Amino acid sequence: MTFLCFLIIIIIITSAIKSDICDGARILGIFPLNSKSHFTLGEQIMKILAKTGHQIDVVSHYPQKKPVSNYRDLSLHGSMIDKTNNLDYNRLQFLSPISIVPEISNNTGSNICKLIQHPILQNIIKNPPKNPPYDLVIVEIFTAHCYFAFAHHLKVPMIGLISSVVQEWENEALGNPDSFAFIPGGFTGLNVGGKMNFYQRLLNTLMGNLIKRQFYHYTDHQKIFIDQYFGPNYPSIRNLSTQFALVFVNSHFSLHGIRPLTPSVIEIGGVHIQENGEKLSPDLQKWLDDSKYGCIYMSFGSMVNIETFPNETLNAFYTAFENIAPVRILLKIGNEKLLSKLPNNVKTHSWLPQIQILKHKNVKVFVTHGGLLGTLESIYYKVPMIGFPLFGDQFYNMKVCEDREIAISLDYHKFTANDFLEALNVVLKNNNYRNNIEEFSKLYYDRPMSSQESVIFWVNYVLRHGNILRSPAVDLAWYQVELLDVYGFLLLNAIFLIYISFLIIRTFYILIYHTKRFDKIKILSKK
């Protein structure tokens, strides 16, 4: 009898613990883009929510290597080629501000929409879970807008994630004004800080609107995938794009400037930077510990193969590295076998734990392509940067860092070994850059609550209250938002009033003129 009572108590306690762990919402995260850098933000947010007790299902190409409590992978791994280390120098030459739009709209938009035919996604569409059902969908906002149909299909609120600042083609659907007068478009190629002159504002407006229309054109075509996999009676892509209850953006006003954002747009820049207990490998730890004169960390991200750069460019890097000795260089590459003639002070790896490296006390400079995740990590760990922006928003990211004197930006097309060496010496030896980034790090992360706490609060807010933050501006046509119909009406009325006034004045003038002429004729006739 005693044993039976003890067993019942254990069962009750176990049930209570399980209830405490998983007594939350069931959330579906959809991250179908086969790019690790894009998945990083979503992955960390979903892990944060899992820790707070929500039951998380995550559709992605990158399943967890170790089980995470409350986190279930719905893996797409193997269904597409991984974009890691797949971008070479020649492809970079085609990624201009204008040509990049059709390129990424196809590769990261339409091609990704085809994945909806995958059995895992088809199972969600045809047999969504019922015990319990999904309460919320979280999806990345980039170019595969077809995935917004899942929230509509499941009849639940939808939260979006933007891994950069809000881009030109995303503002209208969220109810944000474009503000081309003072916000350079992230994809326009304009790298200006502060006040723009007339020519820059003109170019920003023309290019920004052109890029917007291009994205609308390419993403609107994704309706064919919705018709094929969901059915023909679903809203248009443009309509689905306005249905977000909330959007998390990987930005912060201290870095990217003041922007007019609706209350449904929450800035959480740096949310992916979390202490996970990961350690450096023994050889890396020793290399960094022994770098008593300092170490320069260089990485162009997870996609770019630096070894595909022209020999002239690589030799410029090597010459600068050799001349900066005894300072050491830790270089991330795609394939170690392809590099040769490296100076003795350079160590290469095909994969490096970036956060653990940047937090090491001997790392003095981060040479980067200007991706936003790495930029925020560098700011967090107070490591000044030298940037070689390659495409997309990287030019903008490096420009705003250069304006704050926490980075030096160089043109990867035409820099010389002396240019690079001079930049390295300036950042290494000029304490202003390290002092500036230390102060800026305090500013960037000085918030009423951390990014992680913001995610938890606002997700629970949407779960409690639903889609109440959606801007009414998204239900208006663009000309109505800009009040062009109102101004047009007022202008027509003003023209009409002016015309009526002109007719009245003309009539009085004619009457007065004819009256005077008649009187004059009468006087002359009497004579």
Neighbours of 135 (CB within 10 A): 17
Q: Which candidate, 156, 172, 278, places its Cα nearest to that of 215?
A: 172
Neighbours of 490 (CB within 10 A): 11
State the pLDDT at residue 370.
Answer: 92
State the pLDDT at residue 114.
Answer: 95
Q: What does the H/E/C string look like for 279-348? A: CCCHHHHHHHHCCCCCEEEEECCCCECHHHCCHHHHHHHHHHHHHCCCCEEEEECCCHHHCCCCCCCEEE
| Phi, psi (rounded to 5 degrees) for 162 | -120, 120
- From first to last of its 527 residues, the chain has per-residue pLDDT tens of 454 444 444 444 444 433 334 468 999 999 999 988 899 999 999 999 999 999 999 999 999 999 999 999 999 999 988 777 677 777 777 666 666 778 788 888 899 999 999 999 999 999 999 999 999 999 999 999 999 999 999 999 999 999 988 988 899 999 999 888 888 887 766 655 567 889 889 999 998 888 888 889 889 999 999 999 998 889 999 999 999 999 999 999 999 888 999 999 999 999 999 877 778 899 999 999 999 999 999 999 888 888 888 889 999 999 999 999 999 999 998 766 666 678 999 999 888 899 999 999 999 999 999 999 999 999 999 999 999 999 888 988 998 899 899 999 999 989 999 999 999 999 999 899 999 999 999 999 999 999 999 999 999 999 999 999 999 999 998 889 889 999 999 999 999 999 999 999 988 888 887 776 666 666 666 65
Tokens of 326: 């005894």
Q: What's the whole-model pTM score?
A: 0.88
The answer to whether residues 30 and 138 touch, using CB atoms and an 8 Å cutoff, is: yes
Return the residue matching tokens 């990867």.
412
CA 382 to chain centre: 22
State the pLDDT at residue 20.
Answer: 38
| Phi, psi (rounded to 5 degrees) for 111 | -60, -35
What residues contact 354, with CB distance under 8 A and at least 6 apart?
297, 299, 374, 377
The answer to whether residues 169 and 241 touch, using CB atoms and an 8 Å cutoff, is: no
Q: How far apart are CA 417 and CA 437, in angstroms?
A: 25
Q: How far apart are CA 124 and CA 58, in angstroms?
A: 12
Ordered DSSP codes for 487-508: HHHHHHHHHHHHHHHHHHHHHH
The answer to whether residues 350 and 343 touch, using CB atoms and an 8 Å cutoff, is: no
